[in-house]
A = this chain, B = another copy of it.
C-alpha cells in the first residue's frame, strides 16, 4: 500500500518508432473527434457523442503499455480508448453512424464500441458501469493463467459510485491484475469535481490496500512510463493499482454542450488548450530532441487526414442494417 503523489519525472529513452506511433495515435484521436463534431453539426450523426479531445495522452500512453491481448473497458467518452487499443477508423465511424459495418453492427453506437479482436470489452454508458467487468476480466486472466492485464478507464465522476470501492476491495483481496485508470478532467458533466469529491482521491484507493499513483495526464511519455511499470507489476502478480491522471476535456460534456461559461471559464479552457496541449507539447519535444522534424510530423498529420477522410467516406456510404436485424443478437446461440 503506497501512494505516490507528485508526478515522477520519468522520460525513458523510448525508441523512435514507439514515440512516433504514439504521436500518430494522438493526432488520429484528435482528428477523429474533430470529425465527429463535424458530423454532429452537419446533422449526419444520430444522437450525441462525448469528445476525448484534450485527453489523448492518457489513452495512448496507457494502451502503448499493453499488448493486444490485454483487456480494456471504456466509458461514454470512449473513442480515444478504443482507437488507442487498436480499433480501425472506418468501423468506428460506421458504428457512430449506426451502420451495419460498425463494430457492433450499429447496435451499440458511440457509447458502446466493443471489439474482442483488440481486447476491448466495451465502452459503457453507465458511469462506473464497467468497474466490475474489468475486475472480472482480471479474475479470468489469473484463474486461467493467461498473463493478461485488464485496464479500467473511468472519469472522476465514477469516484462517487460505490461499486468502485467494492471492486477495489475484491481486486486487492484476490490480487488481481487490474489497473484502475481515473481520468480526472475536472468535471462531471457540468460540475467541478471538487464539489462532488470529498477527501483525497489517491487515499480512496490506498485505504483498500491498493497501490496508487498520480501522473500528468497531458504528458504521454510520463503516462506511458508509469503505465509500463504498473502493467509489469500486475502481470507479475503484484496485484491491482490505481492511477490518477490529471487531464482536461477541451469541448463540452457532449458535442451539444456549447455554452460552458456557467460552469467553467474561458480562461481556464484557454490555458489548457495553449499551454498543456498533449499533442503540441509532445510535438515540440520530438522536434527538440530530434526524434523527428517538422516535416516528419507534417507527414503524420497528412496521413491522419487522409485516413480520416477515407474512413468517414466509408461510413457515410455504408448501408444501415435492415430493421429485422433488431431482433438478432439478443441471445447467443447454444
Interface residues of A (CB under 8 A from B): 1, 160-166, 168-169, 172-173, 195-200, 203-204, 206-210
Q: Identify A166's interface contact among B161, B195, B199, B209, CB under 8 A.
A: B161
What residue in chain B is nearest A131 (Cβ atoms)? B162
- Whole-angstrom distance from the CB of A254 to the nearest CB of chain B? 25
Chain B residue numbers with a CB within 8 Å of A209 are: 198-200
Query: Whole-angstrom distance between the alpha carbons of A172 and B162 in the complex?
Result: 15
Find A208's partner among B163, B166, B195, B204 (CB 8 Å cutoff).
B204
Q: Given that A160-B166, A165-B165, A166-B161 are contacting pairs, would A199 and B206 also be in contact in the complex, using a CB cutoff of 8 Å?
A: yes
Smallest CB-CB separation from A197: which chain B residue? B169
List, in ascending order, chain B residues with CB within 8 A of A164's CB: 162, 165
Chain B: minimal CB distance from A164 (Å): 7
Instruction: Give Cα distance in the complex from A125 to B305, angstroms.
Output: 60
Of the candidates B161, B197, B210, the one whose C-beta lies within 8 Å of that of A199 is B210
Whether A166 pairs with B162 at a CB distance below 8 angstroms is yes
* Chain B hits for A165, CB < 8 A: 162, 164-165, 204
Known: A162-B162, A165-B165, A198-B209. 7 other contacts (CB 8 A): A1-B199, A165-B204, A173-B198, A199-B207, A200-B207, A203-B206, A204-B208
In the assembled complex, the Cα of A163 lies from the Cα of B163 at a distance in Å of 8
* Inter-subunit contact B204/A199 (CB<8 Å): no
Nearest CB in chain B: distance from A196 CB, A: 7
Q: Is the CB of A198 within 8 A of B204?
A: no
Chain B hits for A210, CB < 8 A: 198-199
Once bound together, how far apart are the Cα atoms of A204 and B164, in whole Å?
13
In the complex, what's the smallest C-beta–C-beta distance from A193 to chain B, in angstroms? 11
Instruction: State how many angstroms separate the Cβ of A130 from the closest Cβ of chain B.
Output: 15
Provide the residues of chain B in CB contact with A195, threshold 8 Å. Answer: 173
Interchain CB contact (< 8 A) of A172 among B161, B173, B198: B198
Question: Which residue on B lies nearest to A204, using beta carbons?
Answer: B207
Q: Could you list some 5 contacts between A and B, CB below 8 A?
A: A164-B165, A168-B198, A172-B199, A173-B196, A203-B203
Which one of A163, A169, A206, A207 has the highest number of Cβ atoms from chain B below 10 Å of its Cβ?
A207
Minimum C-beta distance from A78 to chain B (A): 23
